């Protein structure tokens, strides 16, 4: 047996380099504008008016609103207020009767520009129809794969390290130069399913249920019911149309063909890593996945949805949108469910093992979606970024030493992290920028608050720092759907 110690995984310091006096870019901009306003006002002889600029700048840079930094929520908060002021919230889907042309495109603002297409592609020597999400706003196309695996939680630490290495090897080729893939989104959806299916199976056996053993077994099922949770993992591969060589073809058509090739290669690598990838979702399966994640209370209607008239006519893709959406400061209501999204603001500062996410992923009965967006960075550009960042850090440290300031432990660690990243890039390891979101879903506000408290506690056990997406809950809900639309990534791995 191999007696080597299990791997320990480290995350870099997520703090960004400061721009002005240790302040971030978004904090510095209001201060700079305030100083410029004061300067121009003094030049014009309006000293009293000029004082307003620095005061407002200080308020935006250091103020807080509802426990959130004002510089972070000012712009989305104003947009949310303006939307409600204009009477566009809540959004309600137009009635089918008399809706006229364009009813299929009736979507709320966070989903505007998205279309689910049913496209025939070649997959494993067969022609099949798959769902392609065309995002006209960002100019991209996306395809969704379902991946399943078994045995990771019960595997040994060395076996878990091997599985993670296989997953990394499957993703690595996406970071090659001139790759059309802009990002890959990993989403794990956990939702309680209870033991109703098992009870139906027992009822079909037509056996006596009056014995003491049967009653004890029923009590055991009652105890197990809230802890019977289903997990589903979807991978959304996104290709930017502008990166694709058209070769005298329509840009969207060429992008879809490139997307299918990349998805086929990724599925092959994932299967080599020990995962099962049955293939891309078709339009009906994708529409069902979107609807159930938007409103999990409709899970009992799944069989009815799949037998609907639209499904029989292979037009299930027109039903994927919600019926009503109402975004608010800390929650968004979608049909009959409440959604609250958190961003992962802090990653583990200590080295962790392969199963470090187990408390969050295998938590209690809360319905939640964990979304991780990975943006591949070409090796040459990643090396240049690391060299530029290391040069900036060294120059900043030299300036502090000249002026007699000491370096903090966090500053020294940040430099060590960049040096480690530069060394790993020199060894040929790929780089991915990543961002993570956690979306909690419940049917009422009380249930949502309780579920969020449990999820935050589970995240803390995984050494993750969760922060609510204040005034951006609608965007967080959209990012939790397998549509390929998400936030800009920034943290490197």
DSSP assignment of 243-296 equals GS--SSS-HHHHHHHHHHHHHHHHHHHHHHTT-B---B--HHHHHHHHHHHH-G
Residue 246 has pLDDT above 60, yes or no: yes
* pLDDT, averaged across the chain: 85
- Among 55-69, 202-216, 295-309, 432-446, the minimum mean pLDDT is found in 295-309
- 376 versus 62: the higher-pLDDT residue is 376
Residue 489 has pLDDT above 50, yes or no: no
Which pLDDT belongs to residue 279? 87
Which pLDDT belongs to residue 48? 83
Taking only the tens place, the pLDDT of each residue in 278-304 is 989 999 899 999 999 999 887 766 556
Taking only the tens place, the pLDDT of each residue in 85-138 is 887 778 888 765 555 554 456 889 999 999 999 999 888 778 889 999 999 999
Residue 484 has pLDDT above 80, yes or no: yes
Mean pLDDT of 235-245: 94
- 312 versus 404: the higher-pLDDT residue is 404
- 493 versus 45: the higher-pLDDT residue is 45
Mean pLDDT of 193-208: 72
Residue 1 has pLDDT above 50, yes or no: no
Cβ count within 10 A of residue 339: 27
CB-based contacts of 287, cutoff 8 Å, min separation 6: 116, 131, 316, 317, 319, 320
Q: State what percent of residues in the chain have pLDDT above 70.
A: 89
Comparing CA positions, the residue from 93, 99, 88 lying closest to residue 295 is 93
Residue 492 has pLDDT above 60, yes or no: no
Residue 490 has pLDDT above 50, yes or no: no
Between CA 50 and CA 35 the distance in angstroms is 9
Taking only the tens place, the pLDDT of each residue in 383-436 is 999 898 888 888 888 888 888 888 888 888 888 889 998 999 999 889 999 999
Residue 318 has pLDDT above 70, yes or no: no
- 305 versus 175: the higher-pLDDT residue is 175
Which pLDDT belongs to residue 301? 66
Residue 311 has pLDDT above 80, yes or no: no
Torsion of CA 485, 487, 491, 493, to 10 degrees: -10
Which pLDDT belongs to residue 367? 93
């Amino acid at each position: 047996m191999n007696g080597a110690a299990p791997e320990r995984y480290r995350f870099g310091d997520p703090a960004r380099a400061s721009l002005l006096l240790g302040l971030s870019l978004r904090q510095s901009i209001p201060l700079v504008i305030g100083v410029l306003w004061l300067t121009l006002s003094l030049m014009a002889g309006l000293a009293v008016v000029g004082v307003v600029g620095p005061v407002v700048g200080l308020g935006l840079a250091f103020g807080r609103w509802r426990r959130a930094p004002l510089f972070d929520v000012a712009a989305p908060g104003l947009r949310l207020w303006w939307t409600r002021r204009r009477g566009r919230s809540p959004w309600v889907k137009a009635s089918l009767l008399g809706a006229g042309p364009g009813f299929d495109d009736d979507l709320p603002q966070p989903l505007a520009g998205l279309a689910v297409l049913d496209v025939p592609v070649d997959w494993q020597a067969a022609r099949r129809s798959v769902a392609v999400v065309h995002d006209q706003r960002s100019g991209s196309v996306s395809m969704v794969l379902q991946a399943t695996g078994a045995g990771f939680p019960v595997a040994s630490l060395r076996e878990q390290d091997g599985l993670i290495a296989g997953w990394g090897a499957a993703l690595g080729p996406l970071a090659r130069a001139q790759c059309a893939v802009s990002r890959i989104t990993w989403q794990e959806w956990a939702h309680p399913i209870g033991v109703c299916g098992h009870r139906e199976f027992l009822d079909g056996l037509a056996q006596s249920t009056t014995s003491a053993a049967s009653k004890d077994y029923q009590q055991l099922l009652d105890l197990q019911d809230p802890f019977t949770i289903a997990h589903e993992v979807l991978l959304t591969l996104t290709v930017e149309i502008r990166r694709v060589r058209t070769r005298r073809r329509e840009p969207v058509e060429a992008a879809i063909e490139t997307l299918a090739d990349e998805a086929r290669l990724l599925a092959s690598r994932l299967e080599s890593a020990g995962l099962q990838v049955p293939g891309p979702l078709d339009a009906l399966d994708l529409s069902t996945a979107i609807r159930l994640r938007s409103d999990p209370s409709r899970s009992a209607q799944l069989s009815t949805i799949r037998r609907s008239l639209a499904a029989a006519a292979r037009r299930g893709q027109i039903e994927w949108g919600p019926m009503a959406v109402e975004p608010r400061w800390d929650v968004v209501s979608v049909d009959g469910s409440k959604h609250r999204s958190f961003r992962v603001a802090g990653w583990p500062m200590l080295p962790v093992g392969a199963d470090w996410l187990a408390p969050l992923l295998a938590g209690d009965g809360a319905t939640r979606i964990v979304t991780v967006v990975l943006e591949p960075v070409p090796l040459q550009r990643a090396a240049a970024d690391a060299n530029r960042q290391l040069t900036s850090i060294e120059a900043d440290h030299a300036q502090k030493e000249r002026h007699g300031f000491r370096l903090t432990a966090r500053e020294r660690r940040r430099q060590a992290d960049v040096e480690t990243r530069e060394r790993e890039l020199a060894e040929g390891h790929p780089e991915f920028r990543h961002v993570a979101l956690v979306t909690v879903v419940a049917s009422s506000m009380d249930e949502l608050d309780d579920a969020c408290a449990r999820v935050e506690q589970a995240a803390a056990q995984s050494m993750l720092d969760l922060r609510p997406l204040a005034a951006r809950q609608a965007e967080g809900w959209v990012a939790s759907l397998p549509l390929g639309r998400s936030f800009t990534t920034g943290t490197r791995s």
